[in-house]
Structure 1
């Protein structure tokens, strides 16, 4: 049975922290692959600031070179609110010989009991929690915990830097930085 980690998010933009989390979890629990899934409209966050097409392309560029990483546009194609329950159900229908591990930060672990369809979801996927500053990895629900190096990089900070003309080199892979600059992804945003 194939063991697949799922890392969802707006990826607005994808950054080195996302890649470090994915690789650390992959190695820690011996996953075959990590699938990055850009969300259309996350239920727990503000909507993204750029198009799904831009976020998808940046995510593809971010994972280039790692044979264990791939990108899925399943939530962007579905549109509407990106509920994990709907995504995992669809993935399970397409990948019948796979076990899925859904990777979430400590902030999401705390909110897990409030997720849409959580009890059915727990039968479909193993949640994997990674430590995030200011959040504990405690939940009454079954969550596999993985310790990762703490990297304090946020997409919000990268966007602010891009908008104000500050450097964000080494916050994102070079291929993502080039895309942001070439396409003016955050130009004119405030």
Structure 2
């Protein structure tokens, strides 16, 4: 049986925090792979489009290109409407019957779990993996495998702001992603 971690998000842009979380969960839980799953319309927050879906996928591809156990899972970009995790996991389980899925979430999403679409069914389908995030706690409402990692307080919104202000982003983004952003003049660069 394959053990696959899924890290969902807007990845607008993907940064070293995403990569660090994925690698820590991959190694600590001895997973086969981690799939980065960009969503089209996150149901839990408004998403202002800063770049196209194709640009987000290209940045993700560049970000993970050096790690063979990381791949992109585009299923949510291929569907219309909000990216409900329940619907996505149902489709993935139909396609990958010999796979156990671990859905990786940060502390902010752990606190929001009671509001997720069909959460009671979802916790029966997958294993949630919670990664601590500064300023958030882990309530014990649902079963969550906690992975303790050094906390990096980095967010895509913080990076976008720095890019728009022409501030330093070195070491916050993979170099290939930084070069792509500058080359394509994304985020006001």
- Superposition TM-score tier, normalisation by shorter sequence: over 0.9
- Shift >3 Å, 4+ stretches: none
What TM-score comes out, normalization by structure 1 length? 0.96
> Where do 1:122-161 residues align within 5 Å?
122-161=123-162
Q: Distance in 2 between matches of 1:40 and 1:139?
A: 29
What TM-score comes out, normalization by structure 2 length? 0.96
**Corresponding residue for residue 61 of structure 2:** 60
Output one character per residue of 1:163-188: Cα deviation in whole Å (capped at 9) or x when no partner.
11112111010110011111112128
Q: Distance in 2 between matches of 1:162 and 1:54?
A: 16
> What root-mean-square deviation, in Å, do the aligned CA atoms of Structure 1 and Structure 2 show?
1.1
**Deviation of 1:154 (Å):** 1.0
SS in structure 2 opposite 1:78? coil
Q: Distance in 2 between matches of 1:183 and 1:76?
A: 21
Q: Which runs of 5+ in 2 are unaligned?
A: none
**Deviation of 1:49 (Å):** 2.2
Conserved 8 A contact 1:54-1:185? no
Conserved 8 A contact 1:16-1:171? yes
> Where do 1:33-112 residues align within 5 Å?
33-47=33-47, 48-112=49-113
**Corresponding residue for residue 174 of structure 1:** 175
Output one character per residue of 1:46-67: Cα deviation in whole Å (capped at 9) or x when no partner.
2142211111111111111111
**Corresponding residue for residue 114 of structure 2:** 113
Conserved 8 A contact 1:130-1:137? no
Q: Which runs of 5+ in 1 are unaligned?
A: none
**Corresponding residue for residue 163 of structure 2:** 162
**Deviation of 1:139 (Å):** 2.6
**Corresponding residue for residue 31 of structure 1:** 31
Q: Distance in 1 between matches of 2:81 and 2:63?
A: 25
